[in-house]
Structure 1
Amino acid sequence: MKIKLPIFIVFTLLILLNFSCKSDKNKSSITTNEKVKPNILFILADDFGYKDTSVMGSEYYETPNIDKIANQGMNFTNGYANCQVCSPSRASILTGKNTARHGITDWIGAAVGEKWRNKKRYNKLLPADYNHQLNLSYTTLPEALKTQGYKTFFTGKWHLGGEGSSPEDHGFDINKGGWESGSPKGGYFSPWINPTLPNTKKGENLSMRLADETINFMKQNKDTTFFAFLSFYAVHGPIQTTQEKWQKYQQKAQELGVAEQGFKMGHFLPIKQQQDNPIYAGLVETMDDAIGKVMNSLKEMGLDDNTIVVFTSDNGGVSSGDSFSTSNLPLRGGKGYQFEGGIREPYFIKVPGLANGQINTTPVTGSDFYPTLLELVGADLLPEEHQDGVSLVPILKGETIAKRPLIWHYPHYGNQGGEPSSIIREGKWKLIHYYEDGHKELYDLENDIEEANNIAENNPDTVKYLDEKLFNYLNEVGARFPVKDDEYNAELEKKYLESVIKNQWPNLEKQRLKFLSDDFKPNDTWWDSKTTVD
């Protein structure tokens, strides 16, 4: 027997059922929106200079994919690494602490104390000791993100310790290629030497491999929330590229015009003044190609609208020492130096819906990434951890942050020619304290980005104010300092510098022209890769 309900009851039930369905749908949507946090893709280049991108003014290098990150996000034109060499800066990104506080003040493996004499540089000071691995007691950025439900991934250069201080020991669930070495052992074409990144096919390009590892991780975790840290070995020496890219940039250098002289003498070593190295340019473009591949993959997976992308470098471009690869002009110096060329970097943050295509001149550093990313994903800040970093979210929202000093501490001699020094920047003023003789240099960076005019003598009050603030901080955090070398011999140092001018400088000029010659042939350990980017 069929049961017949009055018509008004039927209509009432239909209305209630429709409302219930809408309510459940809205509830599901709200719950989803509350649950979803943005993914994070952090891209860190090695030894990549302030002017090594097209967007920052290079007419020689071509970096359309890196440029796109800058143009779609916020470009911090006063963005800094926390040190002029790699390991200290990398530690600061992961901890939110300045180098003097976390104690890694030189690249891990650098000689200290009396061992520095073995370098036969005959300097006045013995470099200070430093911590040789990242402190396990710190809560690192990936560890903080794991508490928010993030799956964490690292690929590429680590250089923050070996066994017992690997990426896995500091919060990364997966590690592909990170170990104690700071350079690409074996070069940029497989077979390379890396215990955590097995060789799979001969001639494979290292930068593209790291991109592929990142893409594989993102695909496997696209339905979760992830933090992917893509840490290129590029563009660290030994610099290598394919024959096709070398030829492209060899011709481009000729078209732009090859300068008669490519270097000028610095305090200890010649410093490159031209962007005209076709091998380095090819290495840069390949890294950019790899970044483009990762960014395209994000878009194909539909994740680009919910992924924060950061791009920066760990120190300035190598204008001296190492491979003498690039010029950072108009910035003075490069990697290892206390000048702007050693510490000012490309510094781009792309956040969907925020600060698209904007430029900001606020001075910021690598230690600011930690609190910035925490706030962007809705996590509580950890001020007891990121003690020297501040969140840049107000800036990304069009507001400002409080004025503060930025501090660097490098009580070492750089392989590239830098000097033991400490730096403080506040507003437009930059003060450099030199440990060899205690003298100080003061620069007005708003009007003298080249650091050509030391105005310390004319501004004694500013010098005193900044110097006191600098050393109050260094003493507070227990910074270590270089000491006088009792065996210093001024005559031996003079002979060393004369040899650099007489022999090394001319040889560098010859090498520069050789790289640009039509009959250039590289070392047998590379150039055998004809692989094109797919």
Structure 2
Amino acid sequence: MKIKYIVLSFLAFTVSLKSSSQTNNKTVKPNIVFIYLDDLGYGDLSCYGATAIKTPNIDSLANGGVRFTNGYATSATCTPSRYGLLTGVYPWRNKDAKILPGSAPLLIGKDQLTIPKMLKEKGYQTAVVGKWHLGLGTGIVDWNQQLDAGPNDVGFDYSYIMAATQDRVPTIYIDNGKVVNLDSKDPIAVNYDKNFPGQPTGKENPELLSMKWHHGHNSSIVNGIPRIGYVSGGASANWSDVDLADHFLAKAQTYVKSHKDAPFFLYYALNQPHVPRTPNPRFVGKSGMGPRGDVILEADYCVGEIIKTLKAEGVLDNTLIMFSSDNGPVLNDGYYDEAVEKLGNHKPNGPLRGGKYSLLEAGTRVPFFTYWKGRIKPQVSDALVCQIDLLESIAKLVNIDVKSTDSQELLDVFTGKSAKGRTNLVIEANTKTAFRQGDWIMIPPYSGDPILEEVNIEMGNDKDFQLYNLKKDIGQKNNLAKAQTKKLKEMMKNFELIRGNSYNNVEKIELK
């Protein structure tokens, strides 16, 4: 009996060593998941101070990891931010990195370094599920054939996406470069300049609408919703708007289940709370704030479900999760959906000024946190970080040596081991740029309307320099440009070292 006990003990010890070795090997190559929302504001989550809406699933991650108070997207609009996220490059360096139509060619170069391409070198499986909006094809897109350029050409092994946004045509799912459920007898044609003969539009056929347009969204009608752009054909391939979130969630869950045995990178890009806001009936009326609030609750549900899947499949403990939004909030962004009327006391931009499209803080400062169960200690960090830093930081995590111009290696900051973030950052909105350095933000003089009236958002345009101390004045109420000329000169000098002497064709202004 004693010999049997010794043998069993030895075997148990051997199994324990083997298990420990496997765990250590997994630690070297953790799974990495980006959860990216669309138009979610700094104040839209209860973990960032919202009281009128509760987001318990997202809060659980944010409060269990490093929640950043100074986390930034690169841009105040979607396409540029997504470009910066995946490439680690400031979008203003690419003249084509603007809000793209649904028919635009691929924005990222096929030879360009991206996070998924980098991770593939280390044996990672890579996937994107959800919103893409970085262009497809190399010229005029033929939606009826295998697309000749897309996510699969810039590092993703698997892609299941929408081409651009929910409010732009075509309203179709694309599986690894091929339109899903397309009937060859009803081919798709897309045009952003001219309508097709006989096709109804939101502008000319309001009687066909289930959602009324406010501005811009008055072209082709799909599912009773007027969109941006014109489309003909492809009826069998059109998605169901109210099922969009569930559909992408299921694809993300399936990916995790089928790729859990090797390290994977999943870029899960939700479309909430972007317009048109079409919550599944399960969420309609749940927020009390109309469709915008309802789809935020829907997004919170989706986040909770993907976390449940990671846990059920036994990979949550070895998964680094990064959560953020592509830009700040907007209420009325093209449709009448009571986002303004039912807002109540909720402040989507929190204490910040501005919003989507704006150079002011609410345009680019967004919810941003990292979570790694058992590896990251819960904390709130004031470190200055940006989404472009994920490329260099992930490279460090998986032991890849990359040299990028804009991305900074902040792995210890993202994992909560350091509070020392960036010293400066260039932010962008509609090709115009501003400069964050330490606690200060400087916005050069720009022409243009101070308020974008269609969406009622302050743009940050002013004929004079703007300078704010964000630590003391997070709401940007006190312009110190005239009182702090020394600081302004210093910031302009450092800004121009990065941005150059020309910024958005504004003449260089001599500071006195």
TM-score higher than 0.5 here? yes
Counterpart in 1 of 2:323? 311
- The verdict on how the C-alpha distance between 1:19 and 1:202 changes in structure 2, with shifts beyond 3 A counting, is closer
2:444 partner amino acid: H
- The verdict on how the C-alpha distance between 1:201 and 1:459 changes in structure 2, with shifts beyond 3 A counting, is closer
SS at 1:205's partner residue?
A: helix
- The verdict on how the C-alpha distance between 1:239 and 1:175 changes in structure 2, with shifts beyond 3 A counting, is same
Where do 1:352-363 residues align within 5 Å? Answer: 352-363=373-384
Counterpart in 2 of 1:256? none
- The verdict on how the C-alpha distance between 1:283 and 1:390 changes in structure 2, with shifts beyond 3 A counting, is same
Per-residue Cα deviation, 1:450-477 (whole angstroms, up to 9, x for no partner): 111111110001111101111221128x
Contact residue 97 and residue 107 of structure 2 kept, 8 A? no
Using the TM superposition, give the Cα deviation of residue 239 of structure 1 relative to its aligned residue in structure 2, in angstroms.
1.5
Contact residue 48 and residue 315 of structure 1 kept, 8 A? yes
Counterpart in 2 of 1:503? none
Using the TM superposition, give the Cα deviation of residue 200 of structure 1 relative to its aligned residue in structure 2, in angstroms.
9.8
Number of matched pairs: 409
Q: 2:400 aligns with which of 380, 386, 393?
A: 380
Between the aligned partners of 1:174 and 1:205, the Cα distance in structure 2 is 21
- The verdict on how the C-alpha distance between 1:320 and 1:443 changes in structure 2, with shifts beyond 3 A counting, is farther
- The verdict on how the C-alpha distance between 1:403 and 1:348 changes in structure 2, with shifts beyond 3 A counting, is closer
Where do 1:518-529 residues align within 5 Å? Answer: none
- The verdict on how the C-alpha distance between 1:202 and 1:344 changes in structure 2, with shifts beyond 3 A counting, is closer
Per-residue Cα deviation, 1:35-67 (whole angstroms, up to 9, x for no partner): 322111110001111111111111222211111
Between the aligned partners of 2:48 and 2:269, the Cα distance in structure 1 is 21
- The verdict on how the C-alpha distance between 1:427 and 1:352 changes in structure 2, with shifts beyond 3 A counting, is same
- The verdict on how the C-alpha distance between 1:145 and 1:287 changes in structure 2, with shifts beyond 3 A counting, is same
Where do 1:287-302 residues align within 5 Å? Answer: 287-302=299-314
1:454 aligns with 2:479: yes
Contact residue 173 and residue 239 of structure 2 kept, 8 A? no
2:473 partner amino acid: D
Counterpart in 2 of 1:391? 410
- The verdict on how the C-alpha distance between 1:131 and 1:451 changes in structure 2, with shifts beyond 3 A counting, is farther
Where do 1:332-411 residues align within 5 Å? Answer: 332-376=353-397, 378-382=398-402, 384-385=403-404, 387-394=406-413, 396-401=415-420, 403-410=422-429
Structure 1, unmatched stretches of 5+, are 1-10, 111-129, 251-276, 413-420, 485-534
SS at 1:55's partner residue?
A: helix
Contact residue 442 and residue 468 of structure 2 kept, 8 A? yes
Counterpart in 2 of 1:141? 115
Counterpart in 2 of 1:439? 464
Counterpart in 1 of 2:457? none
SS at 1:423's partner residue?
A: strand
Return the TM-score normalized by structure 1: 0.70
Between the aligned partners of 1:108 and 1:62, the Cα distance in structure 2 is 33
Using the TM superposition, give the Cα deviation of residue 397 of structure 1 relative to its aligned residue in structure 2, in angstroms.
4.0
Counterpart in 1 of 2:25? 35
- The verdict on how the C-alpha distance between 1:67 and 1:307 changes in structure 2, with shifts beyond 3 A counting, is same
Between the aligned partners of 2:430 and 2:473, the Cα distance in structure 1 is 25
Where do 1:255-294 residues align within 5 Å? Answer: 277-294=289-306
Contact residue 310 and residue 350 of structure 1 kept, 8 A? yes
SS at 1:434's partner residue?
A: coil
Per-residue Cα deviation, 1:422-465 (whole angstroms, up to 9, x for no partner): 21111111000133276210011011111111111100011111
Between the aligned partners of 1:451 and 1:400, the Cα distance in structure 2 is 24
From the CA coordinates, give the structure whose radius of gyration is larger: 1
2:477 partner amino acid: A
Per-residue Cα deviation, 1:361-401 (whole angstroms, up to 9, x for no partner): 0111111112222333x32241x236333323246243233
| Higher share of residues assigned helix | 1
Contact residue 78 and residue 344 of structure 1 kept, 8 A? yes
Per-residue Cα deviation, 1:135-189 (whole angstroms, up to 9, x for no partner): 222210001111111100111111111114411111000111142x2335579xx
Where do 1:100-139 residues align within 5 Å? Answer: 100-109=92-101, 133-139=107-113
2:150 partner amino acid: S
Using the TM superposition, give the Cα deviation of residue 207 of structure 1 relative to its aligned residue in structure 2, in angstroms.
1.1
Between the aligned partners of 2:272 and 2:409, the Cα distance in structure 1 is 28
Structure 2, unmatched stretches of 5+, are 139-148, 181-236, 341-347, 448-461, 508-512
Counterpart in 2 of 1:7? none
Q: 1:159 aligns with which of 125, 129, 133?
A: 133
